[in-house]
């Protein structure tokens, strides 16, 4: 039986809405200009010409990441302008700890049904994150996939490319016993562990995200949506001033597993957990969820968003630098020799 014909719009994909979004975000993207960008958004690909003359032997670095189930909190709160900062931060911080300067960023937004206002709000956060990181928002993709995502929900992925001098790439190979571990304060939970967070707060306890819970200074939802810190403008200048032997972005796996990624054979990191301030959200989460302390330290950043390992004679100068910048940083531990070729991280009182 012949009936009414189908088209893409009836299948659930609104091409006009996608085009309207591109026009809406062009101004945002234009505000993230960095020398090297060669064309406006809207083409089939973005072009970027690095200043090769600044480097003796330039090497490109790339990173990809997402925001995870923190997006569920954004949907719950109907607040979408900060998760884009998380997306950028998760990628550019990974470049930074290897010694790379982020050049440009690409995003991927997938939705079930495109809401232009919500999408523009999300991308405004991505643009803000790029401004913080000093990188260009070179382009991206918005995919409307009806039937794939529940109404109002979406997913985000990000891709960043940076540049480094080959001889200045930071791998951790120069870390040695006697070095000091400096920790930079996180902005709360950042973007890891939210499946456990949601299980405790909203599935097990059915807490109200709009309510204020002691000892938080804002609503629970606002606390959980605090964006991941973008450390690029703070740490990148240090790479030119001080011998930073190793850096670790503290994401999933916490301090222990992320520090293990950079320790050379035969070394161990000893961290003093009382040497830095523990944000209230971690205390609340551990108490409400009856979570073992070891599980907390292996899942969350516990107040330290990035670590850097420096020679002992440099530690005071680096800490003074952060103090002058008005950023919280602490000497949280040291490196010592480990048995054989093993590596380990010990978190002590």
Phi, psi of 160 (to 5 degrees): -125, 145
Kindly state whether residue 334 falls inside one of the protein's structural domains. Answer: yes
Residues 26 and 125 in one domain: yes
Instruction: Tell me, yes or no, whether 24 and 79 share the same domain.
Output: yes
Write the DSSP symbol of residue 306. Answer: E
For residue 131, what is the domain's CATH number? 3.30.1330.10
Residue 259's contacts (CB-CB under 8 Å, 6 or more residues apart) are: 181, 248, 269, 307, 345
50 located within any domain: yes
Spatial separation of the C-alpha atoms in residues 283 and 269, rounded to whole Å = 24
How far apart, in Å, are the Cα atoms of 269 and each of 19, 134, 184, 216, 254? 52, 32, 16, 31, 14
Domain around 83:
15-168
* 233 located within any domain: yes
Residue 188 pLDDT > 60: yes
pLDDT the model gives residue 9: 65
Evaluate whether residue 230 is within a structural domain: yes
- Residue 84 sits in the same domain as residue 118: yes
Q: 134 with 53, same domain?
A: yes
Helix axes 15-30, 116-133, angle to 10 degrees: 30
Residues 140 and 190 in one domain: no
List the CATH number of the domain containing 188. 3.90.650.10
Shared domain for 141 and 196, answered yes or no, is no
Structural domains counted in the chain: 2
- Which pTM does this prediction carry? 0.92
Give the CA count within 13 Å in the CB-facing half-sphere of 147.
4
164 and 187 within one domain: no
pLDDT, tens digit, 9 for 90 and up, residues 123-180:
999 999 999 999 999 988 999 999 899 988 999 999 999 999 999 999 999 999 999 9
Last residue of a domain, one of 111, 137, 168: 168
How is residue 100 written in tokens?
């790379």
What's the pLDDT tens digit per position in 213-247?
988 999 999 999 999 999 999 999 999 899 899 99
Decide if 125 contacts 83 (C-beta within 8 A): yes
Per-residue pLDDT, averaged over 237-260, amounts to 95
pLDDT digits (tens, 9 = 90+) for 5-21: 655 565 555 666 556 66
**Residue 196 and residue 137 in one domain:** no
Q: Please tell me whether residues 229 and 120 are part of one structural domain.
A: no
* Other CB atoms within 10 A of residue 246 CB: 25
**Bridge partner list, 165:** 58
């Amino acid at each position: 039986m012949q009936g009414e014909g189908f088209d893409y719009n009836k299948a659930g994909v609104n091409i006009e809405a996608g085009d309207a979004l591109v026009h809406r975000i062009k101004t945002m993207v234009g505000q993230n200009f960095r020398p090297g960008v060669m064309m406006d958004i809207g083409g089939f690909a973005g072009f970027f010409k690095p200043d090769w003359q600044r480097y003796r032997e330039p090497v490109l670095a790339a990173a990809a990441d997402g925001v995870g189930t923190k997006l569920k909190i954004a949907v719950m709160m109907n607040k979408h302008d900060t998760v884009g900062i998380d997306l950028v931060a998760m990628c550019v911080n990974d470049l930074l700890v290897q010694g790379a300067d982020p050049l440009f960023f690409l995003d991927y937004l997938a939705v079930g049904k495109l809401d232009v206002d919500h999408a523009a709000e999300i991308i405004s956060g991505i643009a803000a994150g790029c401004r913080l990181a000093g990188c260009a928002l070179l382009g991206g993709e918005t995919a409307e996939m009806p039937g794939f995502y529940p109404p109002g929900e979406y997913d985000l992925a990000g891709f960043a490319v940076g540049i480094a001098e080959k001889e200045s790439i930071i791998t951790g190979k120069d870390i040695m016993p006697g070095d000091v571990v400096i920790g930079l304060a996180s902005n709360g939970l950042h973007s890891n562990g939210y499946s456990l967070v949601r299980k405790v707060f909203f599935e097990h306890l059915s807490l109200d995200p709009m309510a204020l819970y002691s000892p938080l200074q804002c609503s629970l939802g606002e606390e959980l949506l605090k964006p991941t810190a973008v450390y690029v403008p703070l740490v990148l200048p240090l790479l030119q001033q001080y011998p930073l032997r190793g850096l670790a972005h503290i994401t999933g796996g916490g301090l222990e597993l992320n520090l293990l990624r950079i320790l050379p054979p035969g070394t161990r990191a000893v961290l003093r957990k009382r040497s830095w301030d523990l944000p209230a959200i971690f205390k609340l989460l551990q108490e409400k969820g009856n979570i073992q302390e070891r599980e907390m330290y292996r899942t969350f950043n516990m107040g330290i968003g990035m670590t850097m390992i420096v020679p002992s004679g440099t530690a005071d100068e680096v800490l003074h630098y952060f103090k002058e910048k008005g950023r919280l940083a602490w000497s949280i531990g040291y490196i010592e020799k480990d048995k054989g070729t093993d590596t380990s991280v010990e978190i002590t009182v």
